[in-house]
Amino acid sequence: MNRTRYQRHSGKSGQAPGTLIHVGRKRTEKTRIVAIDFDALRIQESITPTLSELSNFKSGSANVWVSIEGLHEIELINSIGDCFQIHSLVKEDILNTTQRPKIENFDDYLFIVMKMLDYDDKAEAINSQQISLVVGANFLLSFQEGVDDPFDPLRQRIRAESSRLRMSGTDYLAYCMVDIIVDNYFVVLDKLAERIELVEEELVRNPKPDILRVIHKLKTDLIFLRRSVWPLREIINRLINEDSSLFKDSTRPYLRDVFDHTIHAVDTIETFRDIVSGMLDIYLSSVSYKLNEIMKVLTIIATIFIPLTFLAGWYGMNFKNMPEIDSPWGYPLVIVAAIIITFSMLIFFRRKKWI
Amino acid sequence: MNRTRYQRHSGKSGQAPGTLIHVGRKRTEKTRIVAIDFDALRIQESITPTLSELSNFKSGSANVWVSIEGLHEIELINSIGDCFQIHSLVKEDILNTTQRPKIENFDDYLFIVMKMLDYDDKAEAINSQQISLVVGANFLLSFQEGVDDPFDPLRQRIRAESSRLRMSGTDYLAYCMVDIIVDNYFVVLDKLAERIELVEEELVRNPKPDILRVIHKLKTDLIFLRRSVWPLREIINRLINEDSSLFKDSTRPYLRDVFDHTIHAVDTIETFRDIVSGMLDIYLSSVSYKLNEIMKVLTIIATIFIPLTFLAGWYGMNFKNMPEIDSPWGYPLVIVAAIIITFSMLIFFRRKKWI
Amino acid sequence: MNRTRYQRHSGKSGQAPGTLIHVGRKRTEKTRIVAIDFDALRIQESITPTLSELSNFKSGSANVWVSIEGLHEIELINSIGDCFQIHSLVKEDILNTTQRPKIENFDDYLFIVMKMLDYDDKAEAINSQQISLVVGANFLLSFQEGVDDPFDPLRQRIRAESSRLRMSGTDYLAYCMVDIIVDNYFVVLDKLAERIELVEEELVRNPKPDILRVIHKLKTDLIFLRRSVWPLREIINRLINEDSSLFKDSTRPYLRDVFDHTIHAVDTIETFRDIVSGMLDIYLSSVSYKLNEIMKVLTIIATIFIPLTFLAGWYGMNFKNMPEIDSPWGYPLVIVAAIIITFSMLIFFRRKKWI
Amino acid sequence: MNRTRYQRHSGKSGQAPGTLIHVGRKRTEKTRIVAIDFDALRIQESITPTLSELSNFKSGSANVWVSIEGLHEIELINSIGDCFQIHSLVKEDILNTTQRPKIENFDDYLFIVMKMLDYDDKAEAINSQQISLVVGANFLLSFQEGVDDPFDPLRQRIRAESSRLRMSGTDYLAYCMVDIIVDNYFVVLDKLAERIELVEEELVRNPKPDILRVIHKLKTDLIFLRRSVWPLREIINRLINEDSSLFKDSTRPYLRDVFDHTIHAVDTIETFRDIVSGMLDIYLSSVSYKLNEIMKVLTIIATIFIPLTFLAGWYGMNFKNMPEIDSPWGYPLVIVAAIIITFSMLIFFRRKKWI
Amino acid sequence: MNRTRYQRHSGKSGQAPGTLIHVGRKRTEKTRIVAIDFDALRIQESITPTLSELSNFKSGSANVWVSIEGLHEIELINSIGDCFQIHSLVKEDILNTTQRPKIENFDDYLFIVMKMLDYDDKAEAINSQQISLVVGANFLLSFQEGVDDPFDPLRQRIRAESSRLRMSGTDYLAYCMVDIIVDNYFVVLDKLAERIELVEEELVRNPKPDILRVIHKLKTDLIFLRRSVWPLREIINRLINEDSSLFKDSTRPYLRDVFDHTIHAVDTIETFRDIVSGMLDIYLSSVSYKLNEIMKVLTIIATIFIPLTFLAGWYGMNFKNMPEIDSPWGYPLVIVAAIIITFSMLIFFRRKKWI
């Protein structure tokens, strides 16, 4: 039984709020931490820095981006959180990978939870990874479950001198991350579009009951996708409108742009949902129609031959005194009767438009 | 007949408002009252205190939490209510266990009604218990129907010195209760997720009409769950936004956290509803498909043998002058005819893609 | 044909606004008027008072409640309306019993239209009666269609000295009437809950097409109920929030209470609608399943015996030169063939999981 | 093909805005213009006045109502529009009879488009006529497509001295027109209610596929009705709330009244839609049930006689050495076997509850 | 496989925002640029102007409209954008032809994306072309994918001296473009209306499963149409309400007019969706009904002849001692029995109302 399909959240009931428990699958053996400290002039990278290094980064004047990959080492997450003075509820939410995407404003920093999706071609399934961002004035913490790093291209761009990323602060960096996540939604949507087209073709060519399972899969995938994307609309909207000094005015056009992309994704999901439920109707109708076709064939054959068989059976009776049997006209007349029955039936079916 | 399935509310029509009547099932023999009086320095517990003791608690400077378990002793509830100066409408609502979850602000105190749910594995049913909270500045009354106490872990945490609960006031205590109730919703949702997965598996393996009953049960359970959870959203939202001095600013992040959990629960319920109604479509489609399969078998067998049977019947006729009967080629020709009929039918079915 | 099922509103087109016409069924022979004049100290009742008596009541300092039962005497309603200076549109609306529940604020008085429902056990139908209230500062007019008086308990409570009703003004009296009407909705909902449970049981035991009619009846009853209850939400909400001096602050908690009850009723109606439409799905599915069962039996019997019948028919042919006929092994071999056909068919059905 | 069923709007693409083209059916040979100039003291009527007469009316101090019946004389409409200084877009909209109901505020005047509906009993169809009103401070232009004048009763009322219409201005006149249009919606709704009741009866008595067409017709009629009525809500709402000096305060209660009627109409339409889609479910279910009944009869007959026919066929075989044939007990035993088969089948059907 | 059916958006993931990539089909070999510089007094046209010419236009005091047809020459688009100081995100969106219609305000200019639709009669498909407008104070850039120019009539109107277009600024020109696009929606809607009517007729005359594919096509076309039209509502609404100095007050009535048209289009789409999903129900019901008819014929024929065939088979048995066989009354009695069976069956069917 696929226990990850519908998320498990329990096992926490009765615990004091703020109790740190890792909820979710362990996706990496060892937590990897990558810190990158940069401003317009200089850049400094450090793999798995010590806590004191992190403290230095934080109190420094430049921007620091700390990427934590792997969430099962609770103690480590806790001490990083303390280092950047994160509320205990935030630490609890980072560790619980069954969160709904959300944004929370803690005055000094914003806490954002999102879902990074990608499509596993082999399993024909959507994989989901929780990305949590803590965006402060001069620091950005990103938490992810596994070590395959979707944000690596950003590091490349930071390293490039005079790139926009290098010149801007943590707010533009956060926007870039949201942008990458939203772009990935379109990759997943394109895969689903391909599958929808395949199913539509098959519905036309040869509808089989297996297709039902595929349609159900598409439906639940779309429901799942919608749950991940829908709240993002509100998150970005709040980033745009909230009167927070963390996000600069020059970043706002970019946020509006990614907001439009999110609306577009939501729109596409709704369109796909409409199309997929239309496909179920078509499947059901074509099954009904096929049943009709089968019944027509049966009925035509049966209604022609049943009376004829009765006729033949009748003159197979062994009564001694059946005058027709002995008459020389008996057999020819029966042949004529059989022909008349057959043709009148055929005419009847023609008028019913069955043949 | 399960008379508790769809709640009964009547029997109150025509009564003056504020008339105290216990509406609901009696779940305990004897009402149990547990009072706990605490501040940062000291703690005092008392089982079934007298009314004068309660009055002392109320006028004291510390926080007091009085838990009343069992609602059938109307006089007792009434006098406790009077002791804490509760409006008669509140007392009426506490006794009526068919309330919809709600919050009401009576300036001096907040009145909150919620539903505590838990899943009865044996009966495969969701049990519901009404929890009413009266939250004052330095007192909190909790009313519940039965004696199995879901809030016992809170007492443990209060007893622990320098726990957050001990240091905070009744507002944080009320939050902890709401948090426990919401956590329990996720326990119930996990049980439903398990049942949904079981049904999905069975739909694939062997769809039977009993599954319909299970799907209907799941549907009504989800409707029921939704009715309990949905109003909680609004309740917590009002706790966060209302300009009430009862809830301190330091409690607000916690309320926002539990609000997010409630949204998550509502979201999950909607997702489950979508999935469950999709399952009904699949069941119906696979039943239709099976009918088609049955009809195909019948039609193939019948359309092959009906003409053959007619042929055999024809030459079973007893006419005296049937030349074919006496001819030595009669029988071999009929054999050939039978083979031709059979093969042309098989070719016809092949082209129809039935076999 | 039940002409009262879907209300008739026409026959008024082209009339000047304010033209008084009684639209609806005449439910009583003679209009009954009961006036009750009361304040904290004294009480005075009068059956069918003259118009001058009513004028005196109005100009008096105490509160007066005039209950008009029966709406077909247009002249009478008109002169009572004039006596209390009611707008002609209000008089028109009082006489038209096909009104939608609504509230209108005419500065000096509020005009409220509601539907009193009760359940007729014999006809298994919901009866509806229009109640119109005109609530002024010191007077309350209540108009109802028939003489069976649902508000009689209120008179009893007024007569009781020092009852809350006696001490309060017309606003609390109006609240009590709304409360009685809402309580009656729950009585009707309980009756519907009983019927829903009965139908569910029958669906499990023996689904027949008559049940369809019952489900359709339940559905239209719920649609009807919803139309009566839904607007009440808004009416009470406006009573609570409107900045009207007619409703005192002390009455507001009571209004909030009855508002919650209305929300509860609306909620229950929606839940019942969901459940009832789920029942239709179950009915359809079980009919489909039964068809499958019938077809399986037919197909099993037919596919076993049709080949056997052909076999028997074959050797019933009268050809002279059929070597098998004369062979001593002919008959035993046919018996063996018949047994083989039967068993292979049974194995085939077993593998199809039909038997 | 009924080309007027779904409205045609095209043929205007690429034209400059304000280009006057008559879109719609020509319903009258000759445009009729009726002007009526009135104030509390005097009244003056004039059929097909000249443009200079109209100019005089406009500049006069009294109120003037000009009713234009027939829209195909573009030049005429244009010059009337110019005479009253109407925006070219308004003139364009008046001529295009496929408008959606709407209101527009041009400071000096309001422009209102509505749909007058009536029910054609013969064709069992709803006829629609576009009514455009231009309401100025002292003038009101009404444009309609045909010459059958629904507003004639208003002229009668204006002619009556000291009628409210005579004493009031153009705003009350405009209200009266809206009131007549809304009253006509209820006439149409009553006709639909009759048809719905007829269909319900027929569904009970004898469901035929023709009823499907009737249900589809009802559905599209309700969709059409909804499109006409729904925007009216917003139109009247804006009339009530807009801060326009054109509508006097004394007219506002009347507008609120007609607003309530519109809500009532919208409500009734939604209710009818619910009922009609419920009828389709009933039809489908009763068709399914009938199919079951037919299959039961076939299966009972077939499963009883098919084994018996096989038995008879078996002993119709012509094998020389069939010992049963020659035995004196052969025939009686076969009779006994036939009786046993028949009864066991009947018992089987009884247990399946088919008979 | 039609890869353009569900749009492809991917291939951009991980790119820096503002990276220019042409997403979409290349529709023309060579990009065509048409600039037209005009004010009330003079007009100057120029085909494929140089960049310096464009710069001159921009800095000039007159209005300039530059129409760019063909989007695959990225460098060209980029330099034109730079010339008019367009934000890099805007340039990116212009090149990506899978945009959702939207509006963005960049203080100095407005950026509007719309979809121009037209109906391809041959392919029975809706073609879509993305139109992007950049509206500045004295310049308007229009970007389209192909060279077939829907805005050519506008150039004609500009060339006409003293035309409204010539006298007005770029805001009125932009309105005219929106108006043309919306008018085209009605052309497409009319084509769909025709197809819907054709399908309705065919449903009545001869429902075949091909019609399902047509209904599905109509449905997805309507979904597609809705996606293009729906956002336009918001775009125009923002143009009307936004406090932008770009759009003059005199243009606002025109915008309100085109807004009404858009609402009308949205309304019509919703109506068509309702009608189309109603047609699917009708198709399914008529298929069910036909199945019933077929089964009735089969059942009548089979139930009459199966017992008769059994009777005939019975007396075809070869038992030596069958007394009926030798009796002279045997045959006549069997004839009588056959007639009785036939008639009692016919009476049974009559009572079942099958014949």
E77-94 pLDDT tens trace: 999 999 999 998 899 889
> D124 CA to chain C: closest CA distance, Å?
18
Chosen from D206, D212, D229 to mutate, greatest number of chain E CBs within 10 A: D212
Does pLDDT of A339 surpass 90?
yes
Buried b / exposed e over B270-293, threshold 16 CB at 10 Å, is bbbbebbebbbbbbbbbbbbbbbb
Give dist(CA C229, CA C223) in Å, integer: 10
Euclidean distance between CA atoms E212 and B107, whole angstroms: 63
Q: Which comes out higher in pLDDT, residue E326 or E186?
A: E186
pLDDT digits (tens, 9 = 90+) for D142-166: 999 887 778 888 888 888 877 888 8
pLDDT at res. C4: 46
Pick the closest to residue C287 from D207, D282, E353 (CA basis).
Answer: D282
pLDDT band at E10 (very low <50, low <70, confident <90, very high): low
* Nearest by Cα to A219 from D182, B14, E236, B282: B282
Residues forming beta bridges with residue E131, ordered by sequence position: E114
Q: What percent of chain C has pLDDT over 70?
A: 96
Partnered with residue E102 across adjacent β-strands are: E113
In b/e form, how buried is each residue of D232-250, taking b as 16+ CB within 10 angstroms?
beebbbbbbeeeeebbeee
pLDDT of residue B4: 46
The helix (run of H) or strand (run of E) holding residue D244 is: none
The pLDDT score that the predictor gives to residue C1 is 32
CB contact under 8 A, E100 and A157: no
Q: Give the residue carrying structure tokens 């007569």.
A: C159
Interface of D with E in 276-295 (CB under 8 A): 280, 283-284, 287-288, 290-291, 293-295
C165 C-beta neighbours (distance < 10 Å), count: 22
Map tokens 């035991």 to a residue: C205
Tokens of residue E331, six digits? 């045959």
State residue E2's pLDDT score.
38
Q: Stretch B41-62: mean pLDDT, rounded? A: 84
pLDDT tens digits, one per residue of C73-102: 889 999 999 999 999 889 988 998 888 899
Contact A256 E280 (CB under 8 A): no
Given a cut of 60, whether residue C232 has pLDDT beyond it is yes
In the predicted structure, residue E206 carries a pLDDT above the cut 80: no
Q: How far is C264 from chain B (nearest CA, A)?
A: 6
Task: Name every residue whose Cβ is closer than 8 Å to that of residue B203 and which is 6 or more positions away in sequence.
Answer: B211, B279, B282, B283, B286
Q: How far from D247 is each of A345, D172, D173, D236, D239, CA to CA, in Å?
A: 76, 8, 11, 11, 7
Q: Parallel, antiparallel, or unpaired: how do β-strands E32-38 and D102-106 relate?
A: unpaired
Q: Facing residues of E120 across strands?
A: E125
Mean pLDDT confidence for A106-111: 88
Please report residues of E whose CB lies closer than 8 A to that of D87.
253
Q: What is the rounded distance in angstroms from the CA atom of residue B29 to the CA atom of residue D143?
A: 78
Tell me: pLDDT of D335 over 80. Answer: yes
pLDDT 10s digits, A214-237: 888 898 889 889 988 999 998 998
Average pLDDT rounded to a whole number, residues E154-183: 88
| A:132-161 residues touching chain E, CB 8 A cutoff | 153, 157
- Tell me the pLDDT of chain D averaged across its residues: 85
Q: Is E101 left (phi over 0), alpha (psi -120 to 50) or beta?
A: beta
A208 touches chain E (CB under 8 A): no
Give residue-wise pLDDT tens across range D115-151: 999 888 888 888 889 999 999 988 999 999 887 778 8
The two three-digit tokens of residue C247, written as one number: 């409703």
Q: What is the pLDDT of residues E141-159, one digit of tens each?
A: 999 988 777 888 888 888 8
Say whether D297 and E303 touch across the interface (CB within 8 A): yes
Q: What is the pLDDT of residues C176-206, one digit of tens each?
A: 999 999 999 998 998 999 899 888 888 877 7
D297 pLDDT more than 80: yes
Count the neighbouring beta carbons within 10 Å of the beta carbon of residue C13: 18
Strand partners, E106: E109
Tell me the pLDDT of chain A averaged across its residues: 85
- Mean pLDDT estimate for chain B: 85
pLDDT at B111 over 90: yes
pLDDT > 80? residue C207: no
Residue E154 has which token pair? 């506008």
Percent of chain A clearing pLDDT 70 (strictly above): 95
pLDDT at A243: 67
CB-based contact A263 E100, cutoff 8 Å: yes
ipTM, interface predicted TM-score of the complex: 0.74
- The predicted structure's pLDDT at residue E344: 92
Q: Does residue E340 surpass a pLDDT of 90? A: yes
Q: List pLDDT tens digits, range C122-131.
A: 888 888 899 9
Report the distance separating Cα E48 and Cα E54, nearest Å: 10
Q: Identify the CA nearest to B205 among candidates B282, B140, B98.
A: B282
Determine the 3-state secondary structure of E12 from DSSP.
Answer: coil
Q: E159, E299, E348: best mutation site toward chain D, by most D Cβ within 10 Å?
A: E299
Give the separation between CA B345 and CA B352, rounded to whole angstroms.
11
- D15 contacts in chain E (CB < 8 Å): 183
- Please give the pLDDT value at position A8: 56
| SS3 label, residue E349 | helix
Residue E14 has pLDDT above 80, yes or no: no
Q: Which residues pair with C47 in a beta bridge?
A: C34
For chain B, domains (ranges, CATH) are 3-285 (3.30.460.20), 315-351 (no CATH)
Mean pLDDT of the E227-250 span: 86
Q: Residue A266 — very low, low, confident or very high, per pLDDT cuts 50/70/90?
A: very high
Percent of chain E with pLDDT over 70: 96
- Nearest chain D Cα distance for residue C265, angstroms: 19
Residue B147, CB-side half-sphere exposure with 13 Å CA sphere: 10
CA count, 13 A, side-chain hemisphere, A138 = 13
**Over E225-265, what HEC string results?**
HHHHHHHHHHHHHHHHHCCCCCCCHHHHHHHHHHHHHHHHH
The reported pLDDT for the residue numbered B13 is 61
Q: Which residue has the tokens 């153009």?
A: D170
For residues D24-49, give the mean pLDDT.
Answer: 85
The whole-number pLDDT of residue C289 equals 81
Buried b (16+ CB within 10 A) or exposed e, E314-332: bbbbbbeebebbeeeebbe
pLDDT over 90 at B51, yes or no: no
Helix (H, G, I), strand (E, B) or coil at E120: strand
pLDDT at E3 over 60: no
What is the structure's pLDDT at D13?
Answer: 61
Residue range C289-308: average pLDDT? 86
- pLDDT band at residue A2, thresholds of 50, 70 and 90? very low
* pTM, rounded to two decimals: 0.80
| Averaged pLDDT, D243-255 | 83
b/e burial code for range E100-131 (CB count within 10 A of at least 16 → b): bbbbbbbeebbbbbbbbbbbeeeeeebebbbb
Structure-block tokens of residue B345? 């039918």
Q: Which residue of C has its CA nearest to B315?
A: C317
Q: Among A2, A10, A98, which would you mutate to test the B interface (most chain B Cβ atoms within 10 Å of its Cβ)?
A: A10
Q: Is the pLDDT of residue E29 over 50?
A: yes
Which residues have a Cβ under 8 Å from the Cβ of A11 and sit 6 or more positions away? Answer: A21, A23
* Burial of residue C177 (number of CB atoms within 10 Å: 0-12, 13-18, 19+): buried
Per the CB < 8 A criterion, the answer to whether B306 and A302 are in contact is yes
Task: Give the model confidence (pLDDT) of A144-160 as tens digits.
Answer: 988 777 888 888 888 88
Q: Give the neighbours of chain C: at least 3 Cβ pairs within 8 Å.
A: B, D
> pLDDT value at position B3?
38
Residue whose entry in the numeric block shows the structure tokens 């390293």: A159
pLDDT attached to residue B296: 86
Mean pLDDT of B336-346: 92
